[in-house]
Amino acid sequence: MGLTTCLAGCIIVVVIDLKPSMFWLLFRQNFLGVPMDNLPEKTGWIEVICGSMFSGKSEELIRRLRRAQIARQKVQIFKPIVDNRYSQDHIVSHNDQKISSEPVSSAKEILGRTDPDTQVVGIDEAQFLGMDLVAVCERLANEGTRVIVAGLDQDYRGQPFEPIPQLLAVAEHITKTMAVCMVCGNQANRSQRLVDSDERVMVGAEGAYEPRCRRCFQPPQ
């Protein structure tokens, strides 16, 4: 009798102590088998897709954003205005997949343009948006948004390319996409610049880069 009362008391205390939303989350996870990260609750996070040029970053970004659209989630997609290689209002991958996007001239502009009811924010070519992007992604995720960012993780010298290293540190999910080395066919994670230039970012330089592996990459002098 004493033990039963004690157990019942403990259960009541535990149930009262849990916030209703947490109780519901635990109930769904344990009894309905719904994984925590699939729940449409107000929980945000950051996903980073990074790699060299021609490694399929935009393709993977488009795939995830399309799935969110199919799930009828409200999606907004941004890309820096500096990247006008193919289109100002679409993200286009090298294998010709595309999805409509809004051009922005700075990372902070993304905050002003994101609607309050947007559930998923996609950002392509993050290397053009600078260090402000880290705080912008953090704020969106803190407010409950799923943020998916794609960008180059190394520059043409093979050096870490901000803000991707900082985003990797704060992201919940990280995907490194690999290209194929144009010299030996191994997996490649570096972008070899084939023309002479000291600019860190060369926009619209189709044919000016090729993917190379660690062994075949030759950093510029």
Q: Is 186 in the site for Zn ion (CB under 5 A)?
A: yes
Catalytic, 102? Answer no
Residue 125 half-sphere exposure toward CB, CA atoms < 13 A: 26
Does position 43 bind Zn ion by CB under 5 A? no
Which is nearer to Zn ion, 42 or 157 (by Cβ)? 157
- Using CB under 5 A as the binding rule, whether residue 183 contacts Zn ion is answered as yes
The Cα–Cα gap between 46 and 144 comes to 10
Residue 73 is a binding residue for Zn ion (CB under 5 A): no
Q: How far apart are CA 82 and CA 200, in angstroms?
A: 14
Beta carbon of residue 93, minimum distance to Zn ion (angstroms, whole number): 23
Beta carbon nearer to Zn ion, 69 or 186: 186
Asked whether position 184 contacts Zn ion by CB under 5 A, the answer is yes
Comparing C-alpha atoms, which of 158, 213, 154, 207 is closest to residue 182? 213
The strand pairing partners of 193, in sequence order, are 209
Q: Which stretch binds Zn ion (CB under 5 A): 22-30, 32-40, 144-152, 206-214?
A: 206-214
**CB nearer Zn ion, residue 7 or residue 184:** 184
Neighbouring residues of 129: CB distance < 8 A, sequence distance ≥ 6: 80, 104, 106, 107, 123, 163
Q: Note whether 178 binds Zn ion by CB under 5 A.
A: no
Task: Write phi, then psi, for 212 (nearest 5 degrees).
Answer: -135, 150
Binding site for Zn ion (CB under 5 A): 181, 183-184, 186, 213, 216
Where in the sequence numbering do the catalytic residues fall? 125
